[in-house]
Each structure stands twice: as C-alpha cells, then as structure tokens.
Amino acid sequence: MKKKIALVTGGYSGEAVISYKSAITIENNVDKEKWDCYKIDINPNGWFYETPSGEKTIVDKNDFSILVNNTKINFDAVLVGMHGTPGEDGKLQGYFDCLNIPYTSCNAATSALTFNKRYTVAVAAFAGIHVAKSLHLFKSSPLSPQQILSELSLPLFVKPNNGGSSIGMSKVKEASELQAALDKAFKEDEQVLVEEFIKGREFTIGVFKSKGNIIPLPITEVIPKKEFFDFEAKYEGASEEITPAKIDEPMANKIREAAKKVYSVFNCNGVVRIDFIYNETNANPYMLEINTVPGQSEASIVPQQVKAMGWSLQEFYSALIEECFN
C-alpha cells in the first residue's frame, strides 16, 4: 500500500504567495506511483484539504487527519512546502514531533534557530564559518543611525531578522538612508539585523541528505540586475542566475565544503539553500543565511540545481520523502 504524504502549504505571513507557487511544482512532481499526496492549506482562516472536486475538508488538528468520502486518512509523513511562519520557524515541526509524524525539513530547534538571522550568524561564527560583522536591533530598544555607524562601516544591509524572500530588506550606501531602511525593516519584524557589506560574488547552493549522505547541489551564481538579490530579483526575474556557476574548481570546492559544514553544524535535514558571498580578496566564502524551506516554484533556484545535477524533480522529492523515514 502506498504511503500517504501531506504536502503542507500556505502559511501566516506574506511569504504564503511563494508557498502556493512552490506547492504547484512539488505536487506536479511527486511520484504518484510511490506516494498518495494530499495538499494541505494552512492559512489564517483554518487548515484545509481541498478535494479534486473543489470541496474543502477541515483538518482535525488533534491528530492531523482528514476525512475523505467518510474515510479517515492519517498521514505517514509530511512534505514541508511552506515558507515563513509556521512552516519554516519550527512551530509546525514541533507539532508534528508531538504527533510522531516524520517530515522533510529541519527539526523544530534548527528551524527556529535559522529563522532568526542574528542567532544563525552567531552560531556560524562560533563554529568558524565566515560571516559579516553585524548588529542585532530590537524595536523596543532601537539604536540611532549614529550609534549603528559608530560600530559598523558603510555600506550596510538592513533586513528583518526573521522571515525570508528578502522582504523588507535594504542596501544602505549613505548615512542619510539608514533611518528609512530601519523603518522599512521594522514594519516587517520586531527585530532587525544590520550587516556590513562584503564585496564579492554572490553564490547560493542547495544541500540535502539522502541515504544518510550530505549532498551539495550544483552552485548557482546570482547576478542581480538591481543593487542586491531582493524579492523582485528572486521572484520577478530581476537577476541573472547561472547554474552551474562558471567558477574554477578550487573556488567551487571551498563553497561546497562550507555549505556541507553549515549543514552539519546546524544539524539540518531535508533540502536547505545556503547563500554566500565569495570574498576574492581573502578567497573565503562568507555565509549570509540559511533557507530551511527554499523556494520550489518554477522561478526558484533549487529546482534549477536539481536538474543541473542530472536528477528529475520526481527523483528528488522521492529522495526527500524516503530520507525523512530514516
């Protein structure tokens, strides 16, 4: 009998729009010969399964089950395709842990940690991974632009500390721009991360685990048409993405090894995408952030990298599902 897999999508944040796009790609590429896949939409209005005929069935949160044609369906595993809260910050993972249901993402602790950009770079630095110098700001006790500039040097990146898809992010080149960037980021989050700019080439690499082995995907170089890789660059075509990246093997190997180290240090599971700036002055990759539920839409990078590796997306999602049972 085929195992029943819940594909969770939606979410409670602005990233839900990306979750729905990812869910389309995932659902279209789950091997129907191996798995029975049910798309579960979790949103502020409730948790639902939509039948092929368009009827909505409410999810029983007591055991994460649904009723279809008067038959109760319990899920063997969860394929996490939700960006932002509660699917990327550990909340859903903790819920599934309580129900003893395996899932295809990092565990609750890793998800919660990596969702907080400041704590992520702090742990990475402690492990000897190169990161940018930064400050962690709180809305309840903000610092003035002058105080920030007394500790950090321009140019700076200002971004919400939690969340993803580069929503609320700004690049600040002049001191006069800093307050507006802080205001923009604080509209998205109660905490803000301010980082020094690192000059170099931008790369991103997916990493996943299959049969117990940590496998880096082909590297992508990101060349934004704008100042940086923001939401528009990521999802609206305002960047050039070269997969596999046109780099020499020593550079590629440094990025792959750094990515594998990050995956191990943070005890990751499933597929994650790690962003780096390669500083050619000192020939080191600097980790920017970890995306524990990377985008899977047609415009997303991980599907590009999977295809560049020579795998089909069907093979890839089967590998993720099979690994979560381990």
| Confidence grade of residue 233 (pLDDT, cut at 50, 70, 90) | very low
pTM of the model: 0.89
CA–CA dist 200, 114 (Å, integer): 23
Find all residues with CB under 8 Å of 99, minimum gap 6, and list them.
Answer: 63, 64
Q: Where in the chain is the domain with CATH 3.40.50.20?
A: 3-104
Q: Provide the pLDDT for residue 196.
A: 94
CA–CA dist 190, 89 (Å, integer): 15
Return phi, psi of residue 169, to 5°: -95, 145
CATH superfamily of 112-130+199-324: ATP-grasp fold, B domain (3.30.470.20)
The CATH code that applies to domain 3-104 is 3.40.50.20
Q: Where in the chain is the domain with CATH 3.30.1490.20?
A: 134-196
CB 321 within 8 A of CB 45: no
CA–CA dist 119, 264 (Å, integer): 16
Examine the pLDDT at 239 and tell me if it is beyond 60. yes
| Overall size of the chain counted in residues | 326
CATH superfamily of 134-196: ATP-grasp fold, A domain (3.30.1490.20)
Residue 47 tokens, joined: 């948790």
**Averaged over 240-253, what is the pLDDT?**
96
Tally DSSP H helices, then E strands, for the chain.
Answer: 10, 17
Q: Look-up: residue for tokens 């402690």?
A: 126
Q: Provide the pLDDT for residue 234.
A: 47
Q: Provide the pLDDT for residue 38.
A: 97
Q: Provide the pLDDT for residue 298.
A: 79
Q: Where in the chain is the domain with CATH 3.30.470.20?
A: 112-130+199-324
CA–CA dist 271, 296 (Å, integer): 11
Which three-class secondary structure string do you get for 152-204? Answer: CCCCEEEEECECCCCCCCEEECCHHHHHHHHHHHHCCCCEEEEEECCCCEEEE
| Confidence grade of residue 270 (pLDDT, cut at 50, 70, 90) | very high
Dump pLDDT digits (tens) for 152-195.
Answer: 999 999 999 875 546 789 999 999 999 999 999 999 889 999 99
Dump pLDDT digits (tens) for 207-223.
Answer: 999 999 999 999 999 99
Dump pLDDT digits (tens) for 133-155.
Answer: 999 999 999 899 999 999 999 99
Dump pLDDT digits (tens) for 82-117.
Answer: 999 999 999 999 999 999 999 999 999 999 999 998
